[in-house]
Amino acid sequence: MSTDLVKIATDDAPLALFTTGNEDIAEVMEANLAGAEIELHSLPQAITPSGGGTQFKIEDGGTGDRKDEVIGVPLGWFPDGRLWGSEEMSDGQPVLVTHDLKTAYMVSDDIGDPDEATLGAAVLPDQGAGRRWYDLTKLAYCQWGSGKNGGKRAKEYRLVPILEEGALLPTVVRVSAASLKDVDRFRMNAFGLKPYYRCLVKASLVEVPKSGSTPAYSKVVFAKMPGELTKEQGLALKEMYMNPLAEKRARDILD
C-alpha cells in the first residue's frame, strides 16, 4: 500500500481521497487493509434487480440498501461469469467460473442440473493450473434461449469497481448480459484521449418494459461526468486498487 496519496493531494480533486485535509486517509487504509487482499467479489456489490426497477440493490454484509446511482472513478471493466448447479442459485459454489467470457474452469464436481454430456461437448484440452477447462463458445448453457425467458443459463457479467467520493473501497457495479454491449460501447468511446481511471462516471438503471413474452428488465447505463484526475492521481489509483485487483484474479485461476 502506497502513502504517496499524501504528496499528490489537491484542493480541487473530485475525490475526497485526494483532497487537502484528508491526508490521514492514506494512513487509515494502510492500517486497516495491511496484509489484506482487495478482491472483486468481497467488495460491496451494486446488483441489478430482477424483473425491472431503477435502483441498485447494494449487497454489503446484508444491509439491503438501495441506490439510484453510483458515481465515481471506474477502476476496471472485468469480464466475469458463472454457471450454477441450479438456475435459482446466485451464491455459494458455482460449477464453472470464467474471467474472460471465452473460457471457463470447473470449480465444483457437483454439477447439479447441467447435463454431463452437454458440458463434455465443450471441454478443452488441458490449459494448465490443474483445472478442467471449457470453451464457452461451444457450451450450450452460454447461448441465448438456454435459460429462463429466453436468456442465458450461464450468467455473464462485466464487473466495474467504482470509487465514490469519500469511500475507501470501491463499489462493484455488476453489469449483466442484457447490458454488456451498451456498456462495452461506452467504455470504448466515452473517454477520448484520457484513460478511464482518470475520469468520472455515473452508473444508473433504466427499466425496459415488457414486450410480448419478454418480461420487463433493467439495463445498466453509464454516463461520463465532468471532472478528472491528474496523471499522478490516476497512477496512484492503479497502484492502490487496480493492480491488486488484477493480480488477485490471476492468482485465483492458479489456486
- Whole-angstrom distance, CA of residue 41 vs CA of residue 169: 12
- The domain ranges of the chain are 4-254
pLDDT at 61: 72
Instruction: Give residue 235's pLDDT band: very low, low, confident or very high (50, 70, 90).
Output: confident
- Whole-angstrom distance, CA of residue 79 vs CA of residue 204: 19
* 182-221 pLDDT tens trace: 999 999 999 988 999 999 899 999 998 887 777 788 999 9
pLDDT at 140: 93
Mean pLDDT confidence for 170-181: 91
**133 phi/psi in degrees, rounded to 5:** -110, 155
Is the pLDDT assigned to residue 167 strictly greater than 60?
yes
pTM equals 0.83
Give the range among 15-19, 137-141, 236-240 with minimum mean pLDDT: 15-19
Mean pLDDT confidence for 75-87: 91
Half-sphere exposure of residue 239: CA atoms within 13 angstroms, side-chain side:
12
Residue with cell 478442467: 132
Check: CB of residue 108 under 8 Å from CB of residue 97: no
- Whole-angstrom distance, CA of residue 232 vs CA of residue 2: 13
Which segments of the chain does DSSP mark as H helices, in order?
Answer: 24-32, 116-120, 180-189, 231-237, 243-254
Check: CB of residue 25 under 8 Å from CB of residue 5: yes
* 40-56 pLDDT tens trace: 888 999 999 888 888 99
pLDDT at 30: 59
pLDDT at 93: 83
CA 178 to chain CA centroid, Å, is: 15
Is the pLDDT assigned to residue 113 strictly greater than 70?
yes
Question: Integer distance in angstroms from the first to the last C-alpha of the chain?
Answer: 23
**208 phi/psi in degrees, rounded to 5:** -95, 120
pLDDT at 133: 92
Check: CB of residue 139 under 8 Å from CB of residue 95: no
Decide the pairing of beta strands 103-106 and 96-98. Answer: antiparallel
Is the pLDDT assigned to residue 13 strictly greater than 60?
no
DSSP 231: H
Residues of the chain above pLDDT 90, percent: 36
